[in-house]
Copies of this chain bind each other. A is one copy, B any other.
Amino acid sequence: MYRAPINEIAFTLKEVAGLKQLQGLPGNEELSEDLVDAILSEAAKFAEEEIAPLNRKGDLQPAQLVDGAVKTTPGWKECYTNWYQGGWNSLTGSPEFGGQGLPNMLHVAVMEMWNSGNMAFTLGPTLTIGAVEALEKHGSEYLQSTFLPKLVSGEWTGTMNLTEPQAGSDLSALRTRAEPQPDGTYKIFGQKIYITYGDHDMTDNIVHLVLARLPDAPAGTRGISLFVVPKYMVNADGSIGAQNDVRVAGVEHKLGIHGSPTCTMVYGDEGGAIGYLVGEENRGLACMFTMMNNARLAVGVQGVGIAELAFQQALAYALERKQGKAPGAQDEGMSAIAAHPDVKRMLLSMKSKAQVARAICYACAHALDMSKAAPDEAGRKFWTERAGLLTPIAKGYSTDIGVDVASIGIQVHGGMGFVEETGAAQHLRDARIAPIYEGTNGIQALDLVMRKLPLSGGDHVKAFIAELREIADQVAAENMPEMGSAGRKLRAAVNDLEEATLWLLEAQGNGQIAEAQAGATPYMKLAGLTLGGALLAKGALASKAEDELTRKRRVQVARAFAETELGETAGLKETVTESSQGILSVDIAEFA
């Protein structure tokens, strides 16, 4: 049922998010528009024809633990095999290890399609990419030569083992132990929870990346090291060896993404799991952080994928389903519910939010790519900061959009939306994890406010706001009647964002840490709304070269978002700047 919106995706890449800027830069010499279009079109085919048909199946026949091993949903192993053998896992991997070295921008575009097709399926490869990055940057030659080629190709998958029962958002509390061995390896002992695709039957081996503590490690986050712990040892000739002391002890029963096994992993129950140090001792968190931006962005893209899917399904239903008579309807009989103003409002809200999430995630990918490809040091610094600024917004705001849009999708379906058979409810259940994992959206908001606003002494975010203002001014200057009050709304939003930003910077400067933290979540929404409105407007302005229908749609979506969503920025600004005292004065335990 899912149809990949290739035109929308290509347009957003090229005209909104900045792909053209990347073309021709070092490492992107072969990034022609033809190549982009060809990849998008092939990916669309695979997403629609092979991945999407398994989405409902994964929901109904979850991955499960059978005789101490995880059995995935029927058909998933075959689909995964076709997928990686088609070269889809190796898009971004380094050519040195068999990868295609393509930029993140292209990757998020195809990731969106995989996620629309089947988020639970796509989550597996998403984790592999994290492992690839960690090993590309921090792995020893042995680790790189032994594991990278098969992780890059997708012949093996990777996992990230961070969380323990007492250590979730706060990794300083983790207890898994690593004991150095005379041969240079380590023995790993401990339990990890919520390990995505911790076990499965789709590949011959699984490469676990595990955070653990050395015996003499300092307390807190400066005493954490990162290890590779393969499910099966690898022989010198590259063949699969003995089973390592790793086992899956349970699979969670979750609200959604049923097809994705969320495992409890036990290391070292029978004498110690053999692990290999990645990077330096006690520097494990730094290794993790190098891949955090990409992983967080990848979760943001899940929000995009679900929002697009939910929109497509709701629109199809609303055009088909007839109830009542829309005001002014000329036809005999009942109108399609899509013709009723209230339903049209819901559909436009879904469409515009999906496009906002897409534009933000793609812009974030662009910044990540530029942080590597920019020709000079100043440019790389600028784009590194920009990627840092955009990542929490891409992760936090896009995944909030995923949940929001999926919920509106249920509402458009009425009673049918609450019945699982329809499939609309699954989107909400699936989407609901994305604001939680890879750093909750509260953590994202804190990262945005406490770490990203202060970059370059606040100058970076100020420059960013100036860019948004330029777009707003341009919209206002063009004075297009069909854009309604979008220019005015956008200008007001930019002012609100600026005011809230300056307040937060000042609060931090004054050491009012709690005050700044209290406003973090409303600030993230304010930033997401304003950036989203600006990117939609940028797209509308850039669409003059498009055909009439395409252009009309871009203008309508940008206008609808500005006129129905941006009004919220004034209230959010006030919440950031005025509500912290009240919140902080509360002893919430008194409400128990």
Chain B residues positioned under 8 Å from A327 (CB to CB): 513-514, 517
Is A351 touching B591 in the complex (CB atoms < 8 A)? yes
- Closest chain B residue to A163, Cβ basis: B415
Alpha-carbon distance A429/B419, docked complex (angstroms):
11
Distance in angstroms from A56 CB to nearest chain B CB is: 12
- Closest chain B residue to A318, Cβ basis: B588
Alpha-carbon distance A421/B262, docked complex (angstroms):
13
Given A342-B520, A571-B571, A586-B556 in contact, is the A410-B432 Cβ separation under 8 Å? yes
Alpha-carbon distance A410/B417, docked complex (angstroms):
21
A92 within 8 A of B: no
Q: Which of B170, B411, B578 contacts A440 (CB 8 A)?
A: B411
- Closest chain B residue to A513, Cβ basis: B327
Chain B residues positioned under 8 Å from A342 (CB to CB): 442, 445-446, 517-518, 520-521
A389 within 8 A of B: no
Is B484 touching A581 in the complex (CB atoms < 8 A)? yes
Chain B residues positioned under 8 Å from A566 (CB to CB): 571
Chain B residues positioned under 8 Å from A578 (CB to CB): 484-485, 563
Q: Which of B173, B348, B437, B489 contacts A583 (CB 8 A)?
A: B348
Chain B residues positioned under 8 Å from A466 (CB to CB): none
Distance in angstroms from A534 CB to nearest chain B CB is: 17
Is B564 touching A344 in the complex (CB atoms < 8 A)? no
Chain B residues positioned under 8 Å from A520 (CB to CB): 341-342
Chain B residues positioned under 8 Å from A384 (CB to CB): none
Q: Mark A385-416, 1 if CB is under 8 A from B, else 0.
A: 00000000000000000010001001100110
Chain B residues positioned under 8 Å from A403 (CB to CB): 407
Alpha-carbon distance A514/B573, docked complex (angstroms):
32
Given A255-B418, A446-B342, A518-B341 in contact, is the A575-B583 Cβ separation under 8 Å? no
Main SS of the interface on chain A? helix
Given A559-B582, A582-B560, A590-B549 in contact, is the A410-B436 Cβ separation under 8 Å? yes
Is A345 touching B254 in the complex (CB atoms < 8 A)? no
A300 within 8 A of B: no
Is A583 touching B571 in the complex (CB atoms < 8 A)? no
Is B415 touching A436 in the complex (CB atoms < 8 A)? yes
A574 within 8 A of B: yes
Alpha-carbon distance A342/B318, docked complex (angstroms):
38
Within 8 A of B (CB), among A179-235: 193-194
Chain B residues positioned under 8 Å from A163 (CB to CB): 415
A441 within 8 A of B: yes
A420 within 8 A of B: yes
Alpha-carbon distance A209/B518, docked complex (angstroms):
52
Is B173 touching A584 in the complex (CB atoms < 8 A)? no
Which A residues are within 8 Å of any B CB, using their own CB? Answer: 163, 166-170, 172-173, 193-194, 252-256, 262, 315-316, 318-319, 322-324, 326-328, 334, 337-348, 351, 403, 407, 410-411, 414-415, 417-421, 425, 428-429, 432-433, 435-437, 440-442, 445-446, 482, 484-485, 489, 513-515, 517-518, 520-522, 549, 552-553, 556, 559-560, 563-564, 566-575, 578-586, 588-592
Given A341-B583, A570-B571, 8 other A-B residues pairs in contact with their CB atoms under 8 A: A168-B323, A256-B418, A341-B515, A342-B517, A345-B518, A429-B429, A567-B570, A570-B570
